[in-house]
Amino acid sequence: MDRQPVLFALEGTEDFGKSVAAHLEIKLAAHEARDFEDGEHKVRPLSDVRGLDIYVLHTLFGDKTHSVNDKLCRLLFFIGAVKDAGAASVTAVLPYQAYARKDRRTKKRDPITTRYMAQLLEAMGTDCVLALEVHNRAAFDNSFRCRAEHLEAHGLFVQAIKEKIGNESVVVVSPDSGGTKRVDRFRDAWTAIVGHEPPTAFMEKRRSEGVVTGDAVVGNLSGKVAIIVDDLVSGGTTLLRAAQACRDKGATRVYAVITHALFGPGSEKLYKAETLDQLLITDSVTPQQEAPAGSNVTVVSVAGLFAEAIKALHTGRETPVLMD
């Protein structure tokens, strides 16, 4: 395919979009976004999209300007407008997918918003969804009838940590038993890059009515560098409990890798936490509270990962990025 991919980045995701575009060696396609006095809005492409394969980048996490619901509406309406304008295909590129945490019923009459999200995107004519580390990979795979591609930042985190710790022994830790599959995939990435398979451990955790209990750790951490792996962190309470438990079990150092740094109210305690030697996050969202200079937070960019995935989708090539 000779044509370059056409990439739009909607309001609130422009900076990340420019980074992805730079990796692709293209410019972001222009669009118009207008807000009306009554709170309504419209978004439209400013160039001809007829017959083209379009990629629409938007991270669905609320910020100071737009709520998550506002961002979702803008994404849906823009995809609809692009399809109406004759685009051959539209891929929704989601560094952070909203409503992914509610993927099953835990109480009577619970919603399954992961599936509802899929239905909304499909209703607008979305041909493919490209998302980074959703909360439940199986639910993501099973919710969509259109093509759905899932990206993981594990390899990037492994390389960043390996540069810091050298050949020290590690153990990969899940902050709860439900995250063991995510830890297994991180362990696989570590094995593929480093050449040996590290042991794993997990922490007991129970949540009811927003209250988290349980602090037992299953696994041997003595004399090892603990790497806590999770997909997102909001307040940070669970992460700090896990870090302290790793220290108590004899870990020499504690690293944490968090793909989506939501960093809501109360998360500032993470920035100087003595139990954490380093907190590695991606730039999938702009945190509600930015980490101050000199904190223990390191940002690992996933812009290149998204660019590589878009190239693979656009050319139809199979690559390791889209074959996990």
Position 324 confidence tier, pLDDT thresholds 50, 70, 90: low
Q: Are 151 and 169 in contact (CB under 8 A)?
A: no
Share of the chain above pLDDT 90, in %: 74
Q: Are 278 and 227 in contact (CB under 8 A)?
A: no
Q: What average pLDDT does range 212-222 have in this prediction?
A: 75
pLDDT at 195 (0 to 100)? 93
The pLDDT tens digits for 260-302 are 999 888 888 898 889 999 999 999 998 877 777 778 999 999 9
Q: What average pLDDT does range 310-319 have in this prediction?
A: 89
**Contact residues for 37 (Cβ-Cβ < 8 A; gap 6+):** none
pLDDT at 1 (0 to 100)? 46
Q: What is the mean pLDDT of the chain?
A: 91
Q: What average pLDDT does range 182-202 have in this prediction?
A: 95
Q: What average pLDDT does range 3-16 have in this prediction?
A: 94
Q: How far is CA 50 from CA 56, 69, 77, 83, 126, in A?
A: 15, 28, 17, 9, 15
The pLDDT tens digits for 134-188 are 988 889 999 999 999 999 999 999 999 999 999 999 999 999 877 889 999 999 9
**Ordered domains of the chain (ranges, CATH):** 6-152+303-322 (3.40.50.2020), 154-300 (3.40.50.2020)
Phi/psi for 225 (5° steps) reads -80, 120
The single residue of 71, 102, 205, 249 carrying the catalytic annotation is 205
pLDDT at 268 (0 to 100)? 87
Active site residue 249: no
Query: Hey, what amino acid is at 238?
Result: T
CA distance 133 to 152: 5
Q: Is the pLDDT of residue 79 over 90?
A: yes
pLDDT at 37 (0 to 100)? 93
pLDDT at 306 (0 to 100)? 98
Q: Is the pLDDT of residue 93 over 60?
A: yes
Cα-based torsion angle of the residue sequence 299, 303, 304, 310 in order, rounded to the nearest 10 degrees: 150
Buried b (16+ CB within 10 A) or exposed e, 254-292: bbbbbbbbbbeeebeebbebebbbbbbbbbbbbbbeebe
Share of the chain above pLDDT 70, in %: 95
CA distance 290 to 268: 9
pLDDT at 215 (0 to 100)? 64
CA distance 16 to 162: 26
pLDDT at 222 (0 to 100)? 95
Buried b (16+ CB within 10 A) or exposed e, 306-319: bbbbbbbbbeeeee
β-bridge pairing 217-218 and 147-151: unpaired
